[in-house]
Structure 1
Amino acid sequence: MSSLAANLGFALRAMPGESVCGDQIGVWPQGEHRLQLALADGLGHGQGAHQAACNVMRLLGDLQPLAISARFQYCDEHLLHSRGVALAMADIDLQAHCLTHAAVGNIRSLLLRQGQVRRLGAARGIVGAGYRDLYPEQHDFQPGDWLVMFSDGIGEDARIADALSAAEPSQVAGRTTGHVAGRASAKINRNASAQIAGQDTDEIDQKASAQVAGQIAGQIAGQVTTQATAQAIAQALLERWASAQDDASLLLYQHV
């Protein structure tokens, strides 16, 4: 999946004062045309939240062949003695232009198309403590569409849709802002076949991403430079809107 590094972006930040992040992200390419994504928010913050979120990502790494509903059920059963997590998953079929999404708890997921925003649903509950009314949704997912998932460490009033609607699909997917962004994206691509953020987020060159993000941070409320990679955009969005009262994470993917 050669365009993965340009089309995929994610960022995590621990609550100020904490040494580990209770939010975690997973990305698993499935051959050339399928992609599985997940974002988990461990209950609370600190080591307990971090452990629960990392555990669910390790579980999901072994459950890729299963349907989304079965993955949720398995994780719920195997997190009974942990803090539990809010969790969102997305399966993307790039050939069929289809997105399957499901979530439990307070994860926000948005499907953006040409300035239009669709908020995707979530079941009530906590993975590891029980949930109800989980209904996986299937959506048309066309070139140019964005999928955005973020934890409650980013407020619902964040102008993410406005920022992304300014980015042209072909330019976001096909360019980088200089060689610094290229190096950061290359590291993301090398790690994407595994659980990207479930181990040590320092493995990703966040310093390089931050340098690129700084070039667009001042523009983020109104527009995003179309020469930035999705990774740099994700980092800048997080820096702009992450709460000081919680862990924060954001995952975005653009279909091109």
Structure 2
Amino acid sequence: MKQNNVDVAIFQKAKKGRYYCGDSYFYTETEDVFVCALADGLGSGEFAKESSQIVIDIIKNNIHTTVEQLIKKSNELLTGKRGAVIGILKMDFHSRHYSFSSIGNIGVLTITENGKKKRNIPNTGYLAGYHRPFKVVTDRLEPEMNLIMFSDGVSDNDLSQPFLLNKDVNQVTDAYANHVSGKVRNDDTTLIAIRYEN
């Protein structure tokens, strides 16, 4: 989908033998910002989906707040629920910076036009209503940049594949689908390919 500055394509599959995928995602672009969130409910199946969807609904309704506030608000509403891990990416088109934070095993890989990769290390743990320290990484948006957000079903081997450098995000997700085709899926898997053009 292309609106302004950003292209997005998504690959998602439930773990083997499951109808519900415990991963939920959301993205939106306005004139000022792009926000993308990926949440993975603990465990798998319907209750995992419920927890991840709670987080996504909060983010949908609060896209103009900071990444830090989004995580705190998500954490509060997961009290008494199964819990979830989460990654939130926010681009500010005016300052040309992005902010990212993740708790648990949601990762982001940034790839600049010259092919330089940088992987952000997530904060440990998960959201379940308890106070949890976390950090937010802020960095400069570079023209022609790819950002890959992924859940724990995506392996290190998957992240080393040259197709992640493709300028067309649909080709990235198509190539990923071919790459993992036929492999047994032990985890819910979501890979979100994002391209910042400006």
Per-residue deviation, residues 96-128 of structure 1 (Å, max 9, x unmatched): 321111110011211111221111132112112
Cα deviation for residue 136 of structure 1 reads 0.8
What corresponds to 1:144 in structure 2?
Answer: 144
* Amino acid aligned to 2:66: A
Cα separation, 1, equivalents of 2:174 and 2:5: 14
Per-residue deviation, residues 12-61 of structure 1 (Å, max 9, x unmatched): 111121111101111022x2241000011111111111111111111111
- Equivalent pair of 2:9/2:192 in contact (CA under 8 Å): yes
Cα deviation for residue 149 of structure 1 reads 0.8
- Runs of 4+ displaced beyond 6 Å: none
What corresponds to 2:41 in structure 1?
Answer: 42
What corresponds to 1:60 in structure 2?
Answer: 59
How many residue pairs get aligned? The number is: 194
What corresponds to 1:244 in structure 2?
Answer: 185
What corresponds to 2:109 in structure 1?
Answer: 110
What corresponds to 2:195 in structure 1?
Answer: 254
- Equivalent pair of 1:7/1:254 in contact (CA under 8 Å): yes
Q: Which runs of 5+ in 1 are unaligned?
A: 173-229
Cα separation, 2, equivalents of 1:65 and 1:156: 33
Cα deviation for residue 161 of structure 1 reads 5.3
What corresponds to 1:85 in structure 2?
Answer: 84
Sequence identity (%): 22
SS in 2 for 1:89: strand
* Amino acid aligned to 2:84: V
User: 1:164-179 residue pairs with structure 2 within 5 A?
Assistant: 164-165=164-165, 167=166, 169=167, 172=168
* Amino acid aligned to 1:67: T
* Amino acid aligned to 1:231: N
Q: TM-score, normalised by structure 1?
A: 0.69
- Equivalent pair of 1:11/1:251 in contact (CA under 8 Å): yes
What corresponds to 1:183 in structure 2?
Answer: none
Higher helix fraction (1 or 2): 1
- Equivalent pair of 2:82/2:128 in contact (CA under 8 Å): yes
Cα deviation for residue 162 of structure 1 reads 2.0
Cα separation, 2, equivalents of 1:79 and 1:142: 35
Higher strand fraction (1 or 2): 2
What corresponds to 2:19 in structure 1?
Answer: 19
What corresponds to 2:28 in structure 1?
Answer: 28
What is the Cα-based RMSD across aligned positions, in Å?
A: 2.2
